[in-house]
Amino acid sequence: MSQVLVLNASYEPLNITTWRRATVLMLKGKAERLEEDSSRMVRPDTMLPTVIRLRHFVRVPFRELPLTRKNILHRDQNSCQYCGYRGEKLSIDHVIPRSRGGGDCWENVTTACFPCNLRKGNQTPLEAKMPLRSPPRRPIGNLSFEANRHINSGKHDDWKKYVIGW
């Protein structure tokens, strides 16, 4: 089922929904179509929406992205942050080892291949002389993180101009 990016009235990414829900919002006059998939039709005269914008601003509370293996791998673009290896054999490494007081938080976990993780062992990257390619950071937002996953997979290139800036 095709997914549709929902923007707030301020053009801020708000949600990802199904094309059916997006069509209902448009028919009720609550949203307007910004982008459409010309290769797919809902009805003979209506094309499938890919991006819609709500007509009225909706205030949304901040939602924190959960710290999961899948989200860490996506944040680090499925590559070892020590050597750059891309492949199936990746693990999660604590920058400051847990035995030295390092916790399970976005700023202390990173993706590492098995050889680098073993070589680093119970040391910090400085002690092991293994600098990180990019420092681990908390992702900016839940929705933009998810939308970037769709953009990177090549499914929704038309979402780029609405998501990348956020």
Residues 6+ apart with CB under 8 A from 152: none
Tell me which residue has tokens 């390092």.
102
Maximum C-alpha span of the chain: 65
| 113 and 154 in a common domain | no
> pLDDT 10s digit of each residue in the chain, 166 long?
588 999 999 888 888 899 899 989 999 999 999 988 777 666 667 778 899 999 999 987 777 788 999 889 988 989 999 999 998 899 999 999 999 999 999 999 999 999 999 999 999 999 999 999 999 998 866 666 677 777 776 677 777 777 765 5
What's this model's pTM, rounded to 2 decimal places?
Answer: 0.64
Number of domains in the chain: 2
For residue 125, being part of any structural domain is answered with: no
Q: Which helix (H) or strand (E) holds 116?
A: helix 114-120
Tell me which residue range forms the domain holding 34: 3-62+140-163
| 55 and 7 in a common domain | yes
